[in-house]
Amino acid sequence: MSHRTELQDTINDLVDGHRGILAADESNPTIARRFSAVEVESSEETRRAYRQMLLSTEGLEDAIAGVILYEETLRQSDDNGVPLPQLIATRGIVPGIKVDKGKGPLPGAPGDMITYGLDGLADRLQGYREQGARFAKWREVYPVSDYNPTPLGLSANAEMLARYAAQCQNEGIVPIVEPEVLIKGDHSITRSAEVHEQVWQAVFGALQRHGVVLEYMLLKPSMVTAGQDAATAPPDQVAELTLRALRRSVPLAVPSINFLSGGQAPAEATANLNALNQRRADGLWQLSFSFARALQGPALEAWHGKTENVPEAQAALALRARLSQLAMQGKYAPSMER
């Protein structure tokens, strides 16, 4: 592999034992829904102002090692004309990029989904790299029912993730592989654990078939939780079942597992990450975070699109980043919530 040094350097910068990854890569339709909830119009300028507010938060680099950006953000600049990827890179935060192009139904597998975006990926990766991106992210989603994911859903989604990851490494970009088992539904945590094992085993089988070097990738999975319409499981049970599924499915060669929050409330996601790290045995993977709403939610609610609210919004983001960092060390307590 011709890019080993670059890939290892990026892994070293992202996996340092005490920082996580901020996901700020919402597509325009997704961020429009988030803005609508706080009565902010979604335009290119409001999106730029919002992401500038996030990325310029003082001390963000203390808890955040990388930021996943949306394609639009990669070419935007702050109020002083500094490109947003450069704004974070100069502070020791690695810029990354979401590269998938959304999802749709998977033909032949009722209820399952598939993600688009492989066409032209190599050329796009080269362009993103020139703009400062050093890692990428691709998300596949898995609805849970009595019948889903189907065998076709498992294999087709794993194949997409593996093809994407192999292409990234070929271009010197570290891939984040994101297989998200959706929280929507009333399924039990036991059913969730079963699905997570099936998904992760299919994904790593495909990654190995495609020659993806596991030491030069990150896994961004969901935690094993019950469906949002079922009774909420306590953090100890989430940690126990998540770790069991990981041990059965994920090779130790993967340097870091950066969990998504996946619809959990900020305090819930943080408590679950904390329980995972309190149970984690030495020699296993780094268990970190790559939260979106669980980091951004309180900041967005404080901001409301108003310049005068920026300090309060940045303080909310800084607090959530710090609490997530403490959870990564197994040192978080609910009493730290304010």
- Catalytic center residues: 220
Strand partners of residue 95:
67
**Burial status of residue 192 (CB atoms within 10 A of its CB: 0-12, 13-18, 19 or more):** buried
Report d(CA 161, CA 305) in Å as an integer. 36
Helix (H/G/I), strand (E/B), else coil: 283: coil
* 249-292-316 Cα angle (round to 5): 135
DSSP collapsed to 3 states, 92-154: CCEEEEECCCCEEECCCCCCCEEECCCCCHHHHHHHHHHCCCCEEEEEEEECCCCCCCCHHHH
118 alpha carbon, distance to own chain's centre? 19
Nearest CA-CA partner of 156 in 194, 108, 216, 124: 108
For β-strands 113-115 and 286-291, DSSP reports them as: unpaired
- What the block records as the tokens of 38 is 């706080």
Nearest CA-CA partner of 293 in 6, 23, 4: 23
